[in-house]
Structure 1
Amino acid sequence: MSPRHDPSSVPEELDEASSISSSLSTADTDILSSPGSTSSGPSLRSQPWPQTFPIPQFSYEVEVQLERANCTHLSSGTLLSPSAKLKSDILDSLASEIIKYKVYPSSAEFDTVAEALIRKHPCLKEQGSVCGYYGWKISLKYKMANYRTRLRGIGCPELSINSMKGKHGTTGQSPNQVKKPRKAEVNYCPDFPVGETKESLEEERQALLLEIKKKNQQQIKSKMGKTFAYRRQEIVMDMPFITELKSRWPALFSESEVNAEFTRITTVPLLSKFMSQLDGYSDRLLKVFRKKGGEAGRKIRLITTVMDKDPRIERRRECVIKGLCIYLNEEPESLIKTYLDASSDASHGMEAIVMGIYVIQHEGAEPDEDPEDVGVIIEGVNVLQGLRNVANECVLLLGLIYSLNLSYPKELKHTFEFLQKVVMELDGNRLSQKVQVLKNRLLE
């Protein structure tokens, strides 16, 4: 099973993303606003969907009408019945504000916009509606669909990838399916920086390869930021193989750049957020794990006894992740493949891995001993090696899945869902039943 993200797996209007509550650290804000990425200008979104949607300032004509209607509503309770033009002007302004955060808002996010509208302008509340804004929500959905059509017509890359021409091209994409963010990506397929073209950014990529040879880290970071949109469009639209990506973008396959790319895509820091959140949940997870019975409970206890011999935080994180897999009825061996350094089958076994983590242990090593090497393999290609520990591998694999626009392995979909939505708090309001049950038990 290929780890490639399948854009035709979910119809356009049925797959919904939800809100993001994470904030940026100063260091990760720099990734979006550093000298190397300022050339990206307004083409990059700098923040996720807000918890409270900011209703924009409407045109002077609209504001005057709403101000008078709000005063009348306050004094007499009379609701405004907006004219077709007034309603259209309001919806146009809201669509222009929504697009700053998302091209494809979820149903729940349309709720937040409509609710914020009648909260700021109570005169617009709908008579007879239970929530008071259902009609506004439906109108917003239609307005955004029309707005997307207009943006697609002027070449917005996040929408042009779903043009009819592309759908009937070599991709074989069905006309009623769409490529769009599935894992709360904020910058899914951004436009090129202002003043840049495909040709000029290809020159930057060639210059980047020279800086890699010179090991000029400052220039590498700068050029990776500048070429982000070019690289992202290539990954999302063309879906190249990992070997080709590694050849064209070797700098992407490093710990620092995986972290930076994840932040460019989601606006959320990867390593620091993951580790702090995982550590924060560890005690509660272990407490829940101890209550697990049957064969799964026995496997979890066998894994967690390693912490008695090796109390280091790295070992604790590894045991928690492995226990998480088992608790969610998934096999940690599907995620982490262990090989002996003397095994002649190790290289052959790694070539067969579609996506996962490898650990090289010397023969006769105890469970609490450090491995010889740890790394990440995708499509049989060793993309990261020489990493510090299993937990570090897991977070970088998550980052690579985002960076390379891949799907989660089906045999580990609940484990990665927990890591994304609970640990990283990306799309955390929309959980599968299995993950929701675990989250509820953590809050007991």
Structure 2
Amino acid sequence: MALASDLVQSFPSLKDSSSSGREIWYTPGRYHRPATGFLEERLRNIRKRLRSISRSRSMAQTSPQTPHGAPARALIPECNISDERASKLKEWLRNNSQPLSQVETYMQETAIYRAKCIRDNSWTIDQILQEFPHLMTKGMIAQDFLLLHGDAASKLFENWLPFYAEKILHLARQEGKLTLALDGLTTDAVGELALRQLPALLPPTAYKVGRGRGSEVVRHTVKECSLAFIDHKPPGTNMVEYLHEAMASRPYPYVLTLGNDKEHASQTFVITAGQALEQDTLLQAIDVCFKAFFILDIKYPKQCEHVWEFLQSVVYEMPGGESKLVKFLQTRILACQEN
């Protein structure tokens, strides 16, 4: 009120027709009604903005918590194309596979729209792939992930070999999990061998299924963990039969290698919903498989959730629900660095 009075006294031309000459600028609230006037409206907007800034800072300082087994859910930005164009491009992608450059461009343009659709609907993987079949075109899962989680996209390739592979092998040997000699192994082979040790270092923990008297405790074995993470089959495996069985028994993405032995795989695939997406190396396959959980918006399988949690929070440096097992392994790795 004092500010309004000073204003009209200093600038008489701003007086209104009221007896005080300042009601247009400020009128006190009465009978439980708020104060009004240009000055009050301005102050109200400033207070709102300050509260919004304070709330944003508070949220930024609090790291997001994600339930165990669930990939971190990033905030999806606003869609950059209209619904009409998104629907048109989606329909084109459902009915065309060439030219590949056009597929890649349209997939990139619809990435945010697709992420929103997947998150807003409780679709199965099959339903998602029916809506967006080109997610299984090579490179498209990685492209979507790059657009949604840019900073983390290259972390596996940047971090695994230089910082983690040898330490993982050291810890596996220390625990008696690894007896294979490393002499003569290439750098890539060392990295792949280290990936295969993760299930032994991050074994499944028990969990409850059901409620009340009908509940039961389930504990998967390390072998089950390994198979849910990286399966291995000999050359000549009937892939049609294998994929048919996988579609019924493994409703989650995982990696398959083919070869005479695990250390010398001749082919590597990411298996999702009965489809095989071939990759050049095991590291690439793990990368695509990890990203598939985010793009398909699905939880990690219980058999190997700690393995994926470790890769997510430690290697990809993405926030999420870290189990005690993951934190313990991270501590041991840090101890290796200090020694």
Shorter-chain TM range is: 0.5 to 0.7
Whether 2:291 is the aligned partner of 1:399: answer yes
* Alignment partner of 2:128 out of 202, 221, 245: 245
Percent identity between the aligned chains? 17
Deviates more, 1:261-270 or 1:229-238: 261-270
CA apart distance, 1:342: 4.1
CA apart distance, 1:321: 1.3
- Identify if the C-alpha distance between structure 1 residues 312 and 437 changes in structure 2 by more than 3 Å, giving closer, same or farther: same
* Alignment partner of 1:339 out of 229, 233, 243: 233
Question: AA paired with 1:249?
Answer: F
CA apart distance, 1:108: 2.5
- Identify if the C-alpha distance between structure 1 residues 348 and 90 changes in structure 2 by more than 3 Å, giving closer, same or farther: closer
User: SS of the residue aligned with 2:79?
Assistant: coil
Which whole-Å deviations, capped at 9, do the CAs of 1:165-221 have from their partners, x for residues lacking one? xxxxxxxxxxxxx99xx6444333x4332xx433321102223456632222xx333
* Alignment partner of 1:213 out of 88, 98, 102: 98
- Contact 1:374/1:389 (CA < 8 Å) preserved in 2? yes
Whether 2:54 is the aligned partner of 1:94: answer yes
- Contact 1:242/1:381 (CA < 8 Å) preserved in 2? no
- Identify if the C-alpha distance between structure 1 residues 306 and 254 changes in structure 2 by more than 3 Å, giving closer, same or farther: farther
Deviates more, 1:203-212 or 1:255-264: 203-212
Distance 1:439 1:273 in 2: 16
- Identify if the C-alpha distance between structure 1 residues 85 and 209 changes in structure 2 by more than 3 Å, giving closer, same or farther: closer
Question: AA paired with 2:75?
Answer: N
Distance 2:92 2:45 in 1: 52
* Alignment partner of 2:274 out of 374, 381, 388: 381
- Contact 2:258/2:268 (CA < 8 Å) preserved in 1? yes
Distance 1:389 1:204 in 2: 32
User: SS of the residue aligned with 1:202?
Assistant: helix
**Equivalent residue, structure 2, for 1:443:** 334
CA apart distance, 1:370: 2.9
Question: AA paired with 1:192?
Answer: C
Relative to the length of structure 2, the TM-score reads 0.68
Q: Within 5 A, what are the aligned runs for 1:314-333?
A: 314-330=188-204, 331=222, 332-333=226-227
Which whole-Å deviations, capped at 9, do the CAs of 1:337-359 have from their partners, x for residues lacking one? 22234455634443322222222
Q: Within 5 A, what are the aligned runs for 1:6-25?
A: none
Q: Within 5 A, what are the aligned runs for 1:27-426?
A: 89-95=49-55, 97=56, 105=59, 108-109=62-63, 183-188=71-76, 190-193=77-80, 196-209=81-94, 212-216=97-101, 219-270=102-153, 272-279=154-161, 280-292=163-175, 297=176, 300-302=177-179, 305=180, 307-308=182-183, 311-330=185-204, 331=222, 332-343=226-237, 346-351=242-247, 352-355=249-252, 356-361=254-259, 365-371=260-266, 373-378=267-272, 380-382=273-275, 384-426=276-318
- Contact 1:306/1:367 (CA < 8 Å) preserved in 2? no
**Equivalent residue, structure 2, for 1:431:** 322
- Identify if the C-alpha distance between structure 1 residues 404 and 306 changes in structure 2 by more than 3 Å, giving closer, same or farther: farther
CA apart distance, 1:286: 2.2
Question: AA paired with 2:62?
Answer: A
Which whole-Å deviations, capped at 9, do the CAs of 1:287-345 have from their partners, x for residues lacking one? 222221xxxx2xx314xx27445x12332222111112101124322212222344556
**Equivalent residue, structure 2, for 1:160:** none
Which whole-Å deviations, capped at 9, do the CAs of 1:384-408 have from their partners, x for residues lacking one? 4221232221111101001110101
C-alpha RMSD over aligned residues: 3.2
CA apart distance, 1:106: 7.3
**Equivalent residue, structure 2, for 1:134:** none
- Identify if the C-alpha distance between structure 1 residues 392 and 109 changes in structure 2 by more than 3 Å, giving closer, same or farther: closer
- Identify if the C-alpha distance between structure 1 residues 210 and 422 changes in structure 2 by more than 3 Å, giving closer, same or farther: same
- Contact 1:337/1:357 (CA < 8 Å) preserved in 2? yes
Question: AA paired with 1:202?
Answer: S
In the alignment, structure 1 segments of 5+ residues that lack a partner are 1-60, 62-82, 99-103, 111-177
In the alignment, structure 2 segments of 5+ residues that lack a partner are 1-38, 205-221
Question: AA paired with 1:205?
Answer: K
Question: AA paired with 1:397?
Answer: C
- Contact 1:306/1:368 (CA < 8 Å) preserved in 2? no
Distance 2:290 2:325 in 1: 20
Distance 1:409 1:335 in 2: 9
User: SS of the residue aligned with 1:385?
Assistant: strand
Residue correspondences, number = 266
User: SS of the residue aligned with 1:434?
Assistant: helix
- Contact 2:71/2:293 (CA < 8 Å) preserved in 1? no
